[in-house]
Structures are given as C-alpha cells and as structure tokens.
Amino acid sequence: MPHLFLTTLLLLCFGHSLADYPLQGRFLADGKNRHTAIGALFWPYYLSSHATIHAGFVLIITGSPYLALAEFIVHGTTDWLKCEGKISMLIDQVVHYGCKIAWAAVAIWVLP
C-alpha cells in the first residue's frame, strides 16, 4: 500500500507541475488575475479554466470526481487569494502540494 500512495502522490505532483507552469503560461496567469488588463474583463473564465485543468489531472490520476471537485474549489480559491495579494506564492504552493498529499491519502486509504 505505501508504494501505491507514493506513486499516486508523485503523479499528482507531476500533474500539478504541468498544470501550474507549462500549461498555464502567461495567457492564463494574467487572465486569472482581475488586476490585469485582460483579467479585469474575463478573470472568472480564466481562473475557472485553470482550476479545471488541475481538477482534470486529479480526476485522471485518482479516478475520483469528488477529489477533482475538491481540487477545483481549493485550487481556484487559493489562486484567487494569491492574485488578491492575500497570500504569497510560497503559501499558494504549500496549499497546492498539501492538497496533493491529502488527495493521495484519500484515494488510497479512504475511497474504495
């Protein structure tokens, strides 16, 4: 069982790294922030799209729509707080990776 947890955790971290960096790019990074020119117009669409990409990775890796929904909510909320200047980039990433630990634990030891 421990190796299943570690494998799931590493895959979730891999998905996070892909979704937060190369798959986000400047387009989504600027668009999800309501304090940028493009974000002032369309930030909810960009932020929800970014959170959906993350949720998609969680769904693919864990097979759980519940964990994917939790990822969508937590990731979107955390990124919104970061864009509002209420939390730092460090706290943003700590929350994201903390969730990956929680999702892996739930996927392996709680869900059927």
pLDDT tens for residues 59-86?
Answer: 999 999 999 999 999 999 999 999 999 9
Domain interval for residue 81: 2-109
**Cα 95 to Cα 35, 74, 75, 112, distances in angstroms:** 22, 8, 8, 25
pLDDT of residue 28: 95
pLDDT score, position 2: 87
Residues of the chain with pLDDT under 70: none
Which pLDDT score, from 0 to 100, does residue 51 have?
98
Model pLDDT, residue 1: 75
- Tokens representing 46 are 């960009």
pLDDT for the residue 69: 98
Number of domains in the chain: 1
Record the pTM: 0.95
* pLDDT on residue 5: 97
